[in-house]
């Protein structure tokens, strides 16, 4: 079965190089290459099996979490990972399905993607031990040494996050409704609810408040996403 892959990087030469390398591998179809600004729309339209994103140039937990939220139908895999303790834990916490080291060749990339599609996580023994210790610590009610801030739940739903990202792009209620397949009045209600939950007064402040919460370590809503995926994250 062909593995449909979307390559995400803000650097065009990286997009083209990875597309060319993967095109030579059997069983892989690179359906598109894209930058972060257009990633959500492309994910929603093409629905790839895997979104392969450039972790070396798209760093930041908020960016990774937003990308995972924008592609709930796809496995999100980071490439260009140095496999440091901080990076591995951040990628795992953000919801990625796996990662590819910066030293990997094209054949290694395909191998990792095939494992990820089967819900398997190929990683080094060191990384496996790190994740195992991290889970054990959390199960005992502890916190990892690097977790210096209190983690709170994001006060908005997945659907509201979708709308927040579209608001951030400057879309009107009518345009958002068309993108998500809901009525403009429903969008208006969601916007009003978000303003109340986030304690802001204007729709333009919603996305900024969400980004601020992510920087403090707020976790994503546990509720399953709605049918339509989130369409944009900055």
Which residues are CB-contacts of 38 (< 8 A; sequence separation ≥ 6)? none
Q: Is residue 97 part of a domain?
A: yes
Is 160 in the same domain as 96?
Answer: no
Is 158 in the same domain as 110?
Answer: no
Q: Is residue 144 part of a domain?
A: no
Identify the domain boundary among 113, 139, 165.
139
- 140, 144, 183 from 131: Cα distances, Å: 14, 11, 43
Predicted confidence (pLDDT) per residue in 132-173, tens digit: 777 777 766 655 544 444 445 668 887 888 888 888 888 899
Is 179 in the same domain as 100?
Answer: no
Is 26 in the same domain as 132?
Answer: yes
Is 75 in the same domain as 116?
Answer: yes
Q: Is residue 166 part of a domain?
A: yes
Using a cut of 0.85, tell me whether the model's pTM lies above it: no
Is 192 in the same domain as 76?
Answer: no
Identify the domain boundary among 139, 171, 196.
139
Is 95 in the same domain as 202?
Answer: no
Q: Is residue 41 part of a domain?
A: yes
Answer with the residue of higher pLDDT: 129 or 193.
Answer: 193
Is 9 in the same domain as 116?
Answer: yes
- Could you write out the DSSP letters of every residue in 87-150? HHHHHHHHT-SEEEETT--HHHHHHHHHHHHTT-----HHHHHHHHHHHHHHHTT---TT--S-
Q: Is residue 105 predicted with pLDDT exceeding 90?
A: no
**pLDDT confidence of 184, banded at 50, 70, 90?**
very high
Q: Is residue 65 predicted with pLDDT exceeding 80?
A: no
Q: Is residue 125 part of a domain?
A: yes
- CB 104 within 8 Å of CB 112: yes
Query: What is the pLDDT averaged over residues 36-49?
Result: 87
Q: Where are the beta strands (DSSP E) in the chain?
A: 3-8, 28-34, 50-54, 75-81, 98-101
Predicted confidence (pLDDT) per residue in 78-96, tens digit: 898 888 888 888 888 888 8
Is 121 in the same domain as 180?
Answer: no
**Mean pLDDT over each residue of the chain, to the nearest integer:** 80
**Could you give the 3-state DSSP secondary structure of residue 185?**
helix
- CB 43 within 8 Å of CB 51: yes
Is 44 in the same domain as 135?
Answer: yes
Total domains, the chain: 2
Which candidate, 128, 124, 75, places its Cα nearest to that of 103?
A: 124
Task: Write out the residue range of the structural domain in which residue 158 sits.
Answer: 149-234
Q: Any idea what the CATH number is for the domain that residue 216 is in?
A: 1.10.10.10
Q: Containing H/E element for 154? A: none
Query: Helix, strand, coil % (nearest 5) of the chain?
Result: 50, 15, 35
Is 123 in the same domain as 155?
Answer: no
Q: Any idea what the CATH number is for the domain that residue 58 is in?
A: 3.40.50.2300
Is 51 in the same domain as 127?
Answer: yes
pLDDT on residue 229:
38
Identify the domain boundary among 139, 173, 203.
139
DSSP lists the bridge partners of residue 227 as none
């Amino acid at each position: 079965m062909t593995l449909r892959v979307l390559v995400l990087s803000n650097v065009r030469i990286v997009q083209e190089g990875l597309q060319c390398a993967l095109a030579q591998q059997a069983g892989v179809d690179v359906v598109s290459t894209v930058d972060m600004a257009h990633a959500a729309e492309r994910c929603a339209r093409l629905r790839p099996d895997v979104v392969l994103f450039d972790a070396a140039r798209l760093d930041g937990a908020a960016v990774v979490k937003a990308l995972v939220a924008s592609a709930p139908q796809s496995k999100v895999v980071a490439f260009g990972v140095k496999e440091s303790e901080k990076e591995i834990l951040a990628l795992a916490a953000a919801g990625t399905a796996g990662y590819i080291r910066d030293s990997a060749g094209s054949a290694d990339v395909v191998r990792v993607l095939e494992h990820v599609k089967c819900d398997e996580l190929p990683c080094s023994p060191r990384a496996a031990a790190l994740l195992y210790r991290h889970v054990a610590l959390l199960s005992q009610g502890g916190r990892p040494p690097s977790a210096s801030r209190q983690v709170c739940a994001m006060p908005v739903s997945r659907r509201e996050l979708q709308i927040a990202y579209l608001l951030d792009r400057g879309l009107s209620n009518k345009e958002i409704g068309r993108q998500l397949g809901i009525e403009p009045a429903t969008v208006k209600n969601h916007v009003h609810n978000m303003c109340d939950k986030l304690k802001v007064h204007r729709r333009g402040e919603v996305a900024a408040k969400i980004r601020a919460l992510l920087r403090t370590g707020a976790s994503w809503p546990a509720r399953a996403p709605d049918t339509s995926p989130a369409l944009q994250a900055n």
